Amino acid sequence: MITFTANDAKNKFGEVIDAALQGPVSITKHNRPSVVVMSDAQYQSLAHAKHKELKAAVVAGFDQLDRGEFSPYTNEEIAERVIARKFGEAT
């Protein structure tokens, strides 16, 4: 993966875009990874894969309910786990 500092990315934005069209580009700030820039096609592919995974999990959950299997978690605990997962927090 190509890497630019935040300052270089600002000054060479056209190069960042060209590189991102070829593959993900890492932008660092204070010598630490900060963000990744990618093409719209790459982003759409990732979003589609995530949606597909979520849909499969929901279907699996409904299948469990149809079999009479129930979660040991309360609705509030499930909501907390979903929110934590959405924002990348540990559960």
Domain borders along the chain are 2-38, 43-86
One-letter amino acid for residue 44 of the chain: Q
Residue pair 27/37 in contact by the 8 Å Cβ criterion: yes
H-type alpha helices, 1-91: 6-11, 13-20, 40-66, 75-86
Q: In what order do the strands lie in the sheet with 2-5?
A: 2-5, 25-29, 32-37
Phi-psi domain of 30 (left: phi exceeds 0; alpha: psi -120 through 50; beta: other): left
The architecture CATH gives domain 2-38? 3-Layer(aba) Sandwich (3.40)
> Tens of pLDDT along 12-57?
999 999 999 999 999 999 999 999 999 999 999 999 999 999 899 8
The mean pLDDT value for 73-83 works out to: 87
